[in-house]
Amino acid sequence: MKAAVWTAYGPASVLQIREVETPTPRDNQVRIRIRATTVTAGDVEMRTLKLPMFLGLPMRLYVGLTKPARLTVLGQELAGEVDSVGKDVTRFKAGDRVCAFAGFRLGGYAEYICLPETSGDSLMGPMPADASFEQAAALPFGALEALHFLTKAEIQPGDEVLINGAGGSIGTFGVQLAKHFGASVTAVDSAPKLEMLRSIGADHALDYQQENYWESGERYDVIFDVIGTSPYTPSMNALRPGGRFLMANPRLSYLMRGLVGQGSGKRLIAGSAARTAEDLAFVAERMEAGDLETVIDRTFPLEDIVGAHEYVETGAKQGNLVITVGGDKA
């Protein structure tokens, strides 16, 4: 099969299209013919391993000290068709259209992948009815990451929610899910993304290059920082009593300060997102109901994986960048 092989830590050019062995499913595994996958900022960080030391060093020790060895194909989320199943699989059959999160196995940048039917790391479920592979491919990471944090925040109707870095994979789903839960949403990102953010439901849209939300005098019930650039103390001060500061990409210093706690019942909520089959079914249902859409900036073929990574690195991506695999769309 064809795959984009991760040959070294470094620029996008370390990804090379090669022929590799097609995997065979084990007894408890499902083999998926991948039709679409995505490139996220997290994929770019993984490729370069330009991460904080407390994350980068363990990852390097796990993946390979000098170059990728244990994992050689990137790609966290995908959509496609079940191709074959192991003898112990009961939930899926050949021909099922599924979307999946590969977890630390990675492997989405390929024509096929084998994943266990049930696992605490990876996750798969039926695609939303009438969704394309491109639309479904972005749900298992971006939508579930947003859902995890917004659920932890226990948003109530009428809450004021601010999302920093709202224009990317997680943020665009976050805007829509917060609106679904009844919140008023302020979206913060660069100027070219603001019109798109308003179009998916943001009540207010701020250009971070023109104003700092923590200096406006406005107060929020929830601040959701997707990209890890919000200053800790000013953000806490911008929360109402009982407010929640959500961080998808927290700095170690913020985590330490969050352990100490804040006055007025304010909380820092951070950590790895939990993903469940129930959550995946929930976002699929929301897409089927028309409450949730996948914002797709561009699509690239797998053969241009280098160009796709280079585009994501510019920071201009609005919503999701999708990779089509095999030239098939549906």
Q: Average pLDDT per run of 10 along the chain, which is 330 residues long?
A: 97 98 96 98 91 79 91 96 96 97 93 90 93 97 95 96 97 98 98 98 97 94 93 93 87 54 77 86 96 97 98 96 77
- Whether the CB-CB separation of 168 and 311 falls below 8 Å is answered with no
Nearest to 122 by CA among 75, 174, 59, 65: 75
Beta bridge partners of 184: 160
Cα first-last separation, the chain: 21
Q: Which CATH class is domain 2-138+294-324?
A: alpha beta
- Whether the CB-CB separation of 305 and 311 falls below 8 Å is answered with no
DSSP summary character for residue 285: H
Domain ranges in the chain with CATH number 3.90.180.10: 2-138+294-324
Residue 33 is predicted with a pLDDT of 98
Q: In angstroms, what CA-CA distances link 40 with 118, 158, 213, 228, 251?
A: 24, 31, 25, 15, 19
Domain ranges in the chain with CATH number 3.40.50.720: 143-270
Cα distance between residue 52 and residue 251, in whole Å: 8
SS3 content of the chain, % helix, strand, coil (to 5): 35, 30, 40
Cα distance between residue 309 and residue 106, in whole Å: 16
Beta bridge partners of 187: 163, 205
Cα distance between residue 92 and residue 118, in whole Å: 11
Nearest to 294 by CA among 140, 191, 98: 140
- Sequence-separated (6 or more) residues with CB below 8 Å from residue 232: 245, 253, 254, 257
Confirm or reject CATH 3.40.50.720 for domain 143-270, answering yes or no.
Answer: yes
DSSP summary character for residue 127: P
Residue 85 is predicted with a pLDDT of 97
Q: What b/e string do you get for 232-242 counting C-beta neighbours within 10 Å, with b at 16 or more?
A: beebbebbeee
